Amino acid sequence: MMRGICAFGCSRLVPVILRMLCLMLLFAVFPNTAWAMPCSMGEEEAVFAQLQAGKRMEAEKTYSVPADPTVYLTFDDGPSQLTPKVLDILQAEGVQATFFVLGEQAEQRPELVRRIVKEGHVLGNHTYNHKYKELYSDFSVFWDQVQKTEKVLADQTGERTRLLRAPGGTFGHFDAFYYHYLSLAGYEVYDWNIDSEDARRPGMTAESIYRTVEKGPFRHELIVLMHDGPGHEESVKALPRIIRLFKEKGYAFATLSSSVKPVQFSLGKQKWPRTVSREKYEQMVAAAREHGKLWSDLPNIRQTPQTMIAAEGAVPGPERLRLQTGGTAVSLAKSEMIYRDGYYLVPIRQLSSLMGGTVEWKEQDRTAAVTRGLYQAEYDFAQRELRVINPAGALQTISLPEMEVRDGVLYVPLRKTLELFGGRVTAYLAEAEPGTAEVRISLSGPYGSWWGIYQQLKETAGLSKHSETRTY
């Protein structure tokens, strides 16, 4: 009798305990994606069945809600010859926006992609060619286009974006599988809650676009759909009035980031008949998970920041800047650094010695060769670019228009340089002491080790409550 109860109790209890341990372990290693990794094949089976039945997986993720009513202006299908006009208007109005660009368009206009980022706006991925028939015939096509576009943008700017918008929106296009894979891969999918209808039908005038937006509804957080692709002159004309409308209603303007709660449409009736085999599902899940690791495993790639960059000269820099990592610190007087557009340029020599690297300046070809462990880089001042070879042996060429030489000293952007060498800013204290700003830096091992990544995660968790604005 006793034995019977024990056997029954144990057989019930053991899997529960194992599952709990498994979940705890996953939470420790992947705090944001623990749910995404089922513990057993049985659960994987259940997930597949749920997706087959057309039901989305629930992702447990928390988002931050801004204190003020906030509008996120979004522009799709660019960059095009209209984008400079949109950027000029945004600059004149002092507001930031998000650009869901097409890889195909971005390839044609790299200078515009860089201008978008340089002026404090944020890039999102809108696939490569926008062709519904291809994108929604099979997820693997959609995936390839997202990857291709991500690479185009990363090559042009040195940044990857996890913000994604489905061409035509998700309704009737996405199924539960699309959402599941993209979530595993670390993307955030954004539809909208105000459609300016500037792409809904031909012949929309600036007046009718404005009237559509004016109807609202005006929720606490608004994601507004507009277009800066070819042929959208009327949207450009309507933009200044639309911005003024939101200003009058007391809205703050911000860029999307993966901490902004996405608006996502319901699945709707599928317009595209698709079938998913179990085998294909497993392949896609593996690829998506592999990509999902990238966001935490590759410290040399900057993730989309939520930038609130002050206008040039609007904010005076601090008297002194302290760079702190572990027990080592470098202190720079105002004359030894450049503070501009809300970010810092610092001498490469001081920065490399802080990171435990070496630097060699070659005056004749105006390049600085920097070595830190397995990372090698060459700052090419003539080309205004940086070539980095990371521990995996991959070469990245990054445009760095902001680098500067003054009195024989090469100044490089602090945050970007750190991240390219496997480091990371964990906190920024604008007033660590009166007149002194402090940037706390976490350096992963110069060999990009797991231990280094673990240390970074630990440090970030401990320090995040001290961070204030992100003006580095």
* 335: CB partners within 8 A, 6+ apart: none
Comparison of 107 and 385: residue with beta carbon closer to Zn ion: 107
CB of 284 to Zn ion, least distance (A): 24
Q: Indicate which residue of 76, 77, 191, 198 is catalytic.
A: 76
Q: Indicate which residue of 121, 130, 180, 227 is catalytic.
A: 227
Comparison of 168 and 240: residue with beta carbon closer to Zn ion: 168
The answer to whether residue 167 forms part of the interface with Zn ion (CB under 5 A) is: yes
CB of 77 to Zn ion, least distance (A): 4
Question: Where do the DSSP E strands lie in 96-244?
Answer: 98-101, 122-125, 163-164, 188-189, 194-195, 221-227
Comparison of 165 and 302: residue with beta carbon closer to Zn ion: 165
Which residues does residue 427 pair with via DSSP β-bridges, in sequence order?
440
The bridge status of strand 338-340 relative to strand 328-333 is unpaired
Per CB under 5 A, the list member of 51, 56, 70, 77 interacting with Zn ion is: 77
Comparison of 48 and 100: residue with beta carbon closer to Zn ion: 100
CB of 199 to Zn ion, least distance (A): 7
CB of 78 to Zn ion, least distance (A): 10
CB of 167 to Zn ion, least distance (A): 5
DSSP secondary structure code for residue 220 in this structure: S
Closest CA to 135 of 148, 152, 151, 153: 148
Question: Nearest to Zn ion by Cβ — which residue?
Answer: 76
CB of 140 to Zn ion, least distance (A): 21
Q: Mark whether 220 is an active-site residue.
A: no
From the list 160-168, 311-319, 370-378, 436-444, the region that binds Zn ion by CB under 5 A is 160-168
* CA dist., res. 301 & res. 52, Å (int): 35
Q: How many residues bind Zn ion (CB under 5 A)?
A: 3
CB of 130 to Zn ion, least distance (A): 6
Are 205 and 196 contacting, i.e. CB atoms less than 8 angstroms apart? no
Per CB under 5 A, the list member of 76, 150, 438, 459 interacting with Zn ion is: 76
* CA dist., res. 139 & res. 177, Å (int): 8
Comparison of 229 and 347: residue with beta carbon closer to Zn ion: 229
Which residues does residue 436 pair with via DSSP β-bridges, in sequence order?
320, 433
Comparison of 167 and 413: residue with beta carbon closer to Zn ion: 167
Interacting positions 28-47 with Zn ion (CB under 5 A): none
Write out the H or E segment, with its range, that includes residue 211. helix 206-214
From the list 3-11, 70-78, 253-261, 347-355, the region that binds Zn ion by CB under 5 A is 70-78
* 109: CB partners within 8 A, 6+ apart: 79, 80, 83
Are 223 and 100 contacting, i.e. CB atoms less than 8 angstroms apart? no
Which positions from 342 to 361 touch Zn ion by CB under 5 A, shown as an x/- string?
Answer: --------------------
Task: List, as own/partner pairs, every contact residues 285-293 make where C-beta atoms lie below 8 angstroms and the sequence separation is at least 24, other chains included.
Answer: 285/44, 285/180, 285/181, 285/184, 287/143, 287/185, 288/143, 288/181, 288/182, 288/184, 288/185, 289/36, 289/37, 289/184, 289/185, 291/147, 291/185, 291/186, 292/33, 292/36, 292/184, 292/185, 292/186
* CA dist., res. 263 & res. 190, Å (int): 6
Please compute Rg for the chain using Cα positions: 24
Question: Sheet harboring 404-406: ordered strands across?
Answer: 338-340, 343-347, 409-413, 404-406
Comparison of 128 and 344: residue with beta carbon closer to Zn ion: 128
* CA dist., res. 206 & res. 233, Å (int): 8
Instruction: Provide the binding-site residues for Zn ion, judged by CB under 5 A.
Output: 76-77, 167
Please list the active-site residues.
76, 227
